[in-house]
Structure 1
């Protein structure tokens, strides 16, 4: 199960967070842990370069994309390889929403609503739902899909 998807800016401020099955009292721990992990390791990292960590028997894959950092936390069947796929789908979709290039923080915040819709289509209740960029684009138009 995916436990969390967090997107922060380079200073460590959380821009978007989605927790699945994580108790409210544990969320603060995860926020601070992930931001500290990113601040320690993402300085000077290339866009979309994947980093892997493990904490409390869960896997974490994170990366930097433009001015934002993306963290994905999973356990059980969501090992590092599966989380890398989730990160790939999120980064490619965010780039697509932001005009095909890595976003600045301002551009990301300007497209905040569309990014949130995309995240909700990619991950549903802690399970990777959609990986096809074109399908995600169709789904966020809030029209029913025409093909199954």
Structure 2
């Protein structure tokens, strides 16, 4: 199961978060842990360079995309390889939605579309769609394939 997907700025402020199957009392721990992990490792990292970590028997894959840090946490069948596919789908969708160099401002200007993309990619803790064209059609409320 995909336990969490978080987007944060480079200062560590959470922009979007989605938790699945994580008790409310543990969410603060995960927020602070992930932001600290990113602050230590993402300085000077290249765009879309993947980083992997493990904590409390879960896997974490994270990257930076412009001014936005993206974290995906999974367990069981969502190991680092599967989470790599999830984060690739998310970064592709965000790049398509933002279209320009991704700054915090561009990201927040397109907040609604980013949330729709995220909901189409990860549904109730499971990977739903990985094809960016399909996700693009779904967020525009069009059929997923051309008739």
Q: Same fold (TM over 0.5)?
A: yes
Matches of 2:93 and 2:144, distance apart in 1: 18
Distance in structure 1 (CA, Å) of the matches to 2:69 and 2:104: 10
Shift of 1:145: 3.7
User: Structure 2: any 5+ residue segments left out of the alignment?
Assistant: none
In 1: Cα distance, 2:146 partner to 2:105 partner: 35
CA distance in 1, matches of 2:37, 2:63: 11
Alpha-carbon distance between aligned partners in 2 of 1:145 and 1:41, rounded to the nearest angstrom: 37
In the TM superposition, what is the alpha-carbon distance from 1:146 to its structure 2 partner?
5.2
Indicate yes or no: 2:124 matched with 1:129: no
Partner of 1:108: 107
Query: How far does the alpha carbon of each residue in 1:108-127 deviate from its partner, in whole angstroms, 9 at most, with x for none?
Result: 00000000000000000000
Q: In the aligned structure 1, how far is the partner of 2:139 from the partner of 2:71?
A: 22
Structure 1 spans left out of the alignment, 5+ residues: none
2: CA distance, partners of 1:146 / 1:81: 27
RMSD: 1.2
Q: Deviations over 1:6-44 (max 9, x none)?
A: 000000000000000000000000000000000010000
Hey, which bits of structure 1, 4+ residues long, moved more than 2 A?
Answer: 142-148
The alignment covers a number of residue pairs equal to 147
